[in-house]
A = this chain, B = another copy of it.
Amino acid sequence: MDATQHNDEQARPGSAHGYIKARDKELVQNRLKRIEGQVRGVQRMVDQEAYCVDVLTQIASVVSALEKVGTILLKDHVEHCLRESIEKGEDADEKIEELTAAVERFLRV
């Protein structure tokens, strides 16, 4: 699944919207920019024939950084979207299903 698909999807009228807290949004964007820089750094390492083990270490560090961003988004999602849905009694089952499916995709079980 690529970003373009998702951008289309999210632009559809009436689609669900994200509830990233304003404070977390900046934090998340800063982390994502840093992650983008790290990915470019890995490209440079490959270009310059850096030692494989150093490239692997750097990739493992990008993976951790991405998963950390994932847990920030997950928390915001539970705090806002899932909570609101349960409080209003709207679509709670669907939201819970979605949440556990998202966690399963992370754990790849």
Contacts and interface: CB of A to CB of B under 8 A. Distances in A.
A6 interface: yes
Contacts of A86: 82-83, 86-87
Given A71-B100, A105-B56, A49 B20 contact: yes
Number of copies: 4
B103 A41 contact: no
A3 B4 CA distance: 27
Given A10-B45, A52-B18, A71 B109 contact: yes
Interface of A: 1-4, 6-7, 9-11, 15-20, 25, 28-29, 32-33, 35-64, 66-71, 73-79, 81-83, 86-87, 92-93, 96, 98-109
